[in-house]
Every structure is written in structure tokens, then in C-alpha cells.
RNA sequence: GGGUAGAUUCCGGAGCGGUCAAACGGGGCAGACUGUAAAUCUGCUGGCUAUGCCUUCGAAGGUUCGAAUCCUUCUCUGCCCA
């Protein structure tokens, strides 16, 4: 029984320190306190976060207690992990605002009843300076400088600010405060999480088990998924977007997405396009529902299979008056339908390059005027099409 | 505290008085190709009421017919020494 649980929990992890310790803790029979710290630097959760949240959910399903730490205090410092430059600080208001939607979305995956949500500002904002100094005395400069991120920056003559060095210490102290048994994080969190072990030992506690999970690559297949790089799939993306974004990943990336997003193995025999469509559909089904997944798939197929545009479910836009200037109309559609600001120069470029198409015909004259009829389909760029009403 | 180097468009990084909206690379966007993609190739990549005009080269002043380029002060950063 414990063996099964152990195997399950260790599945799809990158690094565990250590499996034996985890086994011992599991054998104790009490619900373990499993920590995940998140800094809500952006308001939305994406599939990269989901990898970790799904692991937490496994713990919950086995009866354990999740402690979700909202780093409202640490977010203002910014985690230097993987950063080649100091993060721009966020205001506390921004962080709290983000935290609201962030936790809401986290419960799309987590079981709310088995989750304790705490804010680390609760203890850090009240910590007297004396205590800060004491805390700093518990670690050495050399320990902190072991970190590759800092090393690299020092070697390449970039600045490292002292507050950034506080970050791992604070994250470690979180573990002491909430008395965590296990801490989960991405591979880039290994250092920070290990600091937690040290600090817990220093306080005479049984140190937490460290469990790191693979970082999901973003849509570009290169860098880790993150909002700021724009290579993410949001948990709350509408089905069509979610599907479309997943279809844009490379074939090489697919098995990894199957494992980390769905927790299953890809059928290597399947035609890659079909495999990708199933990956996309299953993901949509997971965060929306089966009907939405089916609809998104049909839509995608219609949009991209030539001649089936009439079938596709596209955003509708009212016909402009006859003889409307093309540029002005396109600009307005970007703004109103897709909430994107595009300069006229930008749109002119799209036209000249043949991106703007009416019923499949390229409109390449930037000075053209248009007379549109209901039912016409206008393509703006790869991802955006509209239907006239 | 002393010395020294530097701050350029999304990023890296040229430019060192006019030919600079600013080389080149990356990224991004578009087209072709394809199995949606990826890869590859090609084009574009400050704004505008557009063969011209406007705003940009850390900030503010100044010199000059003319400044990203020269001068002054300021702000910030790296490196070396203490």
C-alpha cells in the first residue's frame, strides 16, 4: 500500500531527496504537510504550474495536506532562479491582485478542502530587524554563492543585489514556519528548497523531503513555459486558444507534453498530427470538458482545412459601410475583437506581405477600400480570422 | 574613499559631428513549403493625416547651420585599488 503510494508519488519527478525519507514519513501514517510556494508575479496559471499542482493533487488524493504558500512578500523581491538579471519589483497591491486569480485557478486542480493557503507576508512583514539578522546568521555567503545563477552573473560582471541573496533564505524559512514534511518545486528550485532543509535542521525539526519536478518547456520548445516569454498555455484559455496553442508545439516536444501535462505515455505508433490533436483535445477536456474539446478540434480542422471555413466557429463582426478603407477596418477589428493595439504601419506591413485575406484571396493593396458582405471571412493573420455579419 | 570603463531601438551590440530611425545578430511577425507544426528559405520589424513630417540613442542643460556622436552637471552600473 505504502509502496504503491511511494511509486506513484515518485513518478515523473526529477529529483527526490530522498526516497527513503519519504518512505519513512509515509509509513508514519499521519497526513503529511506538503508545501508549494508560489510567487504570484502574473495573474494566471499555465500548464507549467499545473505540473506541480497535479503532483500536489496526488498527495491530496492519498490523504495528505497541501500547504500553498502565496509569496506575497517574496514576490516583491523576485526569485532570482534562472534569472540573468534582477527582476523588476512588483507592488504589494499587484501581488495581492494576482494572488486572487492565481489561487482561484489553482483550485481547478487542487482539492480545496485539503489545502491550507497562507501568505508569507504574515510572518515576514512582522519580522523585526534583529530577527532578520539572526536568520541571516544561519547561512553563509559561500552557501549562497554556490548558486549557479549568482555565479554566472558574477562571472559575467552583472550585478547581484543583496536582497536577491535573501530570497532562498526566506523561502527556506517558510518551510520552518509551516513545518512542512515535503516541499515541491521545479528543478530550478532545488537550491532554494534545500536551504529549507538546512534551516529546519537548525531548528531541530525533521527536515522536509525535497521533490523537484521537470520544468515544462514552453510552446517554443526551448525556454521554460512562462507568461513573460509569451510561450504559455493558460489554464483558463478558451478551448479554441488552448487547442490552437498546443497544436503549435513541435513533434519532438509531444512525448514530454503527454507525460507532464496528461501524465500518460504517447502512442508512438500514431500519426504525429493525430497524436497532437489528441493531446490538445485531452488537455481541453481536462480543464474545460469533453464537448468543448470536441468542438475545439472540429473548429481547428475547419479553420485550417481549405474550403471549410463556412463551418468554422469564428468571431463575428458587423459589416462596415461600403468602401471602407481596409487599414482602418483591420485596425478596428484588432482593437475591438482581439483587444490588440496594432499601428497602421504594422497593418500596412501585414497587407503588403499577404497576411490579410478575404475568402482566401490575398488583399495586397494597402490603399484598398472594401465592400464587405455578410458571411465573408476575413483572415488577419495565422491565428485570427473573423466572419462578417 | 581613489582610479577607470560604460549607459544605444524588445534583447545583445555597432556607430564616435552631417550620407542615422541608427549596421549586424537574436527574438518577434508575415509569406512560401508541410501533416497542424518544427526545420528551411524569403520579406518585414519607431510613429504618422507619408515620396514628406514627428518622437527616439540614461537625465537635464550647453556648443554648432547641424549632435547618438563634442562640453558641463546629474543619475545608475561594471572592473581595479583601499
* Cα dihedral sign, A98-A101-A103-A105: negative
At which residue does the C-alpha cell 519519504 appear?
Answer: A22
Residue–nucleotide distance: A169 CA to B2 C1' (Å)? 35
A235 CA to B56 C1' in angstroms comes to: 39
What are the structural domain ranges in chain A? 2-213, 239-305, 316-388
Q: Any idea which residue has 521554460 for its cell?
A: A224
Residues 298-317 of A with CB within 7 A of strand B: 304
Antiparallel, parallel or unpaired: β A15-17 and A209-213: antiparallel
> What dotted CATH number matches A2-213?
3.40.50.620
The pTM (predicted TM-score) of the whole model is 0.85
The Å distance, CA of A215 to C1' of B76, is 35
Whether A57 contacts A110, CB under 8 Å: yes
Pairing of strands A33-38, A182-186: parallel
Give strand B nucleotides closer than 7 A to any protein Cβ. Answer: 27-32, 35-38, 43-50, 77-79
Q: Which nucleotide is nearest to A356 (CA to C1')?
A: B30
How crowded is residue A231: how many other Cβ atoms within 10 Å of its Cβ? 21
Residue A83 vs residues A160, A164, A229, A255, A271: alpha-carbon distances, Å: 11, 11, 13, 27, 38
- Which residues, in sequence order, are CB contacts of A21 under 8 Å at separation 6+? A207, A209
Is this prediction's ipTM beyond 0.85? no
Q: Residue A250 CA to nucleotide B41 C1', Å?
A: 19
CATH number for the region A316-388 comes to 3.10.290.10
**Tens digit of pLDDT per residue, chain A (389 long)?**
578 889 999 999 999 988 999 999 999 889 999 999 998 888 889 999 999 999 999 999 999 999 999 999 888 777 766 555 666 566 788 888 889 999 999 999 999 999 999 999 999 999 999 999 999 999 988 888 888 888 888 887 788 888 888 889 999 999 999 999 999 999 989 999 999 999 999 999 999 999 999 999 999 888 889 887 888 999 999 999 899 999 999 999 999 999 999 999 999 889 999 999 999 999 999 999 999 999 999 989 888 775 567 677 888 888 888 888 889 899 999 988 888 888 999 999 999 888 998 888 888 888 888 888 888 889 898 888 898 88
Amino acid at each position: 500500500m505504502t509502496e504503491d503510494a511511494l511509486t506513484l508519488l515518485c513518478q515523473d519527478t526529477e529529483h527526490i531527496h530522498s526516497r527513503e525519507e519519504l518512505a519513512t514519513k509515509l509509513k508514519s501514517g499521519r497526513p503529511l504537510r506538503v508545501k508549494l510556494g508560489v510567487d504570484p508575479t502574473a495573474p494566471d496559471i499555465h500548464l507549467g504550474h499545473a505540473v506541480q499542482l497535479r503532483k500536489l493533487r496526488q498527495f491530496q488524493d492519498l490523504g495528505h495536506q497541501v500547504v500553498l504558500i502565496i509569496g506575497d512578500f517574496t514576490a516583491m523581491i523576485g526569485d532570482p532562479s534562472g534569472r540573468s538579471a534582477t527582476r523588476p519589483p512588483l507592488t504589494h497591491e499587484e501581488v495581492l491582485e494576482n494572488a486572487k486569480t492565481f489561487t482561484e485557478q489553482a483550485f481547478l486542480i487542487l482539492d480545496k478542502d485539503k489545502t491550507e493557503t497562507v501568505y508569507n507576508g504574515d510572518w515576514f512583514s512582522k519580522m523585526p530587524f534583529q530577527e532578520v539578522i539572526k536568520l541571516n546568521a544561519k547561512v553563509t555567503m559561500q552557501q549562497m554563492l554556490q548558486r549557479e545563477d549568482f555565479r554566472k552573473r558574477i562571472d559575467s560582471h552583472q550585478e547581484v543585489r543583496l536582497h536577491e541573496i535573501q530570497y532562498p533564505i526566506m523561502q527556506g524559512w517558510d518551510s520552518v514556519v509551516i513545518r512542512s514534511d515535503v516541499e515541491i518545486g521545479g528543478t530550478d528550485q532545488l537550491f532554494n528548497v534545500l536551504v529549507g532543509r538546512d534551516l529546519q535542521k537548525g531548528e531541530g525539526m525533521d527536515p522536509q523531503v525535497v521533490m523537484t519536478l521537470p520544468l515544462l518547456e514552453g510552446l517554443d520548445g526551448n525556454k521554460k513555459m512562462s507568461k513573460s516569454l509569451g510561450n504559455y498555455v493558460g489554464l483558463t484559455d478558451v478551448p479554441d486558444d488552448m487547442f490552437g496553442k498546443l497544436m503549435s508545439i513541435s513533434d519532438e516536444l509531444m512525448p514530454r507534453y503527454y507525460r507532464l501535462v496528461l501524465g500518460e505515455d504517447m502512442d508512438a505508433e500514431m500519426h504525429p498530427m493525430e497524436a497532437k490533436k489528441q493531446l490538445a483535445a485531452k488537455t481541453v477536456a481536462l480543464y474545460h470538458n469533453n464537448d468543448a474539446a470536441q468542438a475545439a478540434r472540429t473548429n481547428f480542422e475547419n479553420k485550417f482545412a481549405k474550403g471549410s471555413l463556412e463551418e468554422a466557429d469564428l468571431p463575428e463582426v458587423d459589416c462596415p459601410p461600403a468602401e471602407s478603407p481596409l487599414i482602418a477596418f483591420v485596425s478596428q477589428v484588432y482593437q475591438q475583437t482581439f483587444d490588440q493595439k496594432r499601428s497602421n504601419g504594422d497593418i500596412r506591413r501585414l497587407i503588403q506581405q499577404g497576411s490579410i485575406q478575404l475568402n482566401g484571396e490575398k488583399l495586397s493593396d494597402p490603399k484598398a477600400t472594401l465592400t464587405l458582405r455578410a458571411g465573408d471571412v476575413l483572415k488577419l493573420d495565422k491565428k485570427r480570422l473573423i466572419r462578417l455579419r
